[in-house]
Chains A and B, each alone.
Chain A
């Protein structure tokens, strides 16, 4: 039973990752791209949580992984907002299509 629950929760986490990836790739606005990435990390949180609870609750490793994912999200957000502001201020760019300086 616990394995079945684990598999269902992991499937849900995979759905979150897939949805987030779709959003991050399809959205034009920089802020919306960041929301897609957040959704991907949301899936990671859920997957790591279920791995802890259903596989190794006696070990702290999966908990530490969640903590790391949270930190990744905080860093992504802070830097994302800062870059979005900087590029808007410099070039009035608010979509990823218009930010093509590094696009070869």
Chain B
């Protein structure tokens, strides 16, 4: 079977043969960027389509079913519509920040994709602080949201942005702490090492109850970080019309929409990497025949399967739960999730020291 590492090393050798080392590096950067961009856009299109179909399924309706087979081209049509619409900036907005905000948000979510390991040997940046980098970078996004809300010169936008600021800064903590539990067990921040440490079983199975708890906390906290229902207070349609992106139209709005899905992708990737073994197949210790069969399923199917599972979970929340109120939201984080996460981390540290995990 062709491995992704074969392809990447072939590209590297071909380019090195043609260009000087510096130019090779540059060309590879551009190639990687374009590849990720294309990949992510494809993902987003699939996610949007999936979201609408899942919503339709849950709400006793069909979802898109006119453009293409089963409405599969609906999202592409929508993207064209957004691209053709005028990106209108109202008169009294702060033009610079208003126009800059969507791009900042988008750039930040793309940055978080850098250390992700997509498949064996297919990783853009294998850094030894991979997970830390992702958590650090993904919280910059809130600056873009605050910029959008403040510069719009709209009170709804401002309230939405302020809510979003409070929310993302709070939930960053328990998201970080729940990842830290796994980091403590495997002893490395590198994405590659975390995946390799799960070769004999995913952390969610190896790590006893504390890691399962961390997984649940991570899914809750990351849903909040993505501003998805039931934590969509920043947008809160029934309260703030559209929250921080009320004043955006055309592709400005499109980029916020896109970013929401890229953030979901990042979150799903991190969750599947850290808790569900990334692209590693499902193995049961001591059950060789089964493990062998599982090894035949390509790694990308495993990885994407896990991503789609988590995305589906997040969508399921969105279409089932009512929204929290701002004080309930903050109370949930600061009074319940954060203390419990800290206690959980202590327990994990204790288990790690005693070597009780598998």
Q: Do A and B associate with each other? A: no
B-binding residues in A (CB < 8 A): none
